[in-house]
């Protein structure tokens, strides 16, 4: 069942776009690991926050992706640019009103 | 640019699945209004919470969908089953690591 992970990261002032650049860097490994979608975004009301919304084939696919070299490198690169303030929600999708 | 809306709703005890049923009811109007995806889900660690993650063609498409008759009916039907405790995040997607 599709696993959904959403969240936000507060960045050091002025470093939002640098974190966006790290998170949007093309990573073919993600799709190969079961990542179905991975949106990275911003909101003008929160100028130092980066948002993500990801869907995965399963919770374990998401868990395993955290061990990918590309993921570990991205986390190590982004970490110094973050304040540590973050939010996260995750759930298992059970349906959609777009489907019969 | 793709607009992403995510959130959660705490339900009255035991009414989670009723709210899931309302939110997953097939609504062709949503796709016609610019809804690209609409995942409704649950998490075993939060037995009385329903989660959603939606993507839209634009923020205004999402805004206008709230006026659809099917949306207004769903909100009216779900409201008595909710405690009022909820979370919401929204953002404009600026990219994805799945894309070149």
| A67: Cα within 13 Å, side-chain hemisphere | 5
The complex scores an ipTM of 0.94
pLDDT in tens, B79-95: 999 999 999 999 999 99
Q: How far apart are CA A51 and CA B55, in angstroms?
A: 13
Q: How far apart are CA B86 and CA A16, in angstroms?
A: 27
List chain B residues with CB under 8 Å of A20. Answer: 94-95
The backbone region for B14, taken as left when phi is positive above 0, alpha when psi lies in -120 to 50, beta otherwise, is: left
CATH number of A3-92: 3.30.70.100
Q: Which residues partner with B49 through β-bridges?
A: B10
pLDDT in tens, A9-25: 999 999 999 999 999 99
Give pLDDT, residue A37.
97
Q: Are the Cβ atoms of A99 and B26 closer than 8 angstroms?
A: yes
CB atoms within 10 A of CB B9: 22
> How close B38 comes to chain A (CA, Å)?
5
Taking residues B29-45, report their average pLDDT.
97
pLDDT in tens, B43-78: 999 999 999 999 999 999 999 999 999 999 999 999
Give pLDDT, residue B100.
79
The backbone region for A27, taken as left when phi is positive above 0, alpha when psi lies in -120 to 50, beta otherwise, is: beta
Q: Which residue of B has its CA nearest to A70?
A: B97
Rounded to the nearest 5°, which phi and psi values hold at B8? -145, 155
Q: Are the Cβ atoms of A37 and B37 closer than 8 angstroms?
A: yes
pLDDT in tens, A54-74: 999 999 999 999 999 999 999
User: Where do the structural domains in chain B lie, given as residue ranges?
Assistant: 3-92
């Amino acid at each position: 069942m599709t696993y959904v992970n959403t969240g936000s990261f507060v960045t050091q002032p002025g470093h939002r776009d640098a974190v966006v650049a790290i998170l949007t860097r093309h990573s073919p490994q993600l799709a190969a690991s079961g990542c179905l979608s991975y949106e990275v975004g911003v909101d003008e009301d929160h100028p130092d926050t980066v948002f993500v919304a990801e869907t995965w084939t399963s919770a374990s696919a998401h868990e395993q992706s955290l061990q990918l070299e590309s993921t570990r490198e991205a986390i190590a690169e982004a970490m110094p640019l973050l304040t540590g303030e973050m939010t996260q929600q995750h759930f298992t999708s059970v349906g959609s009103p777009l489907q019969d």
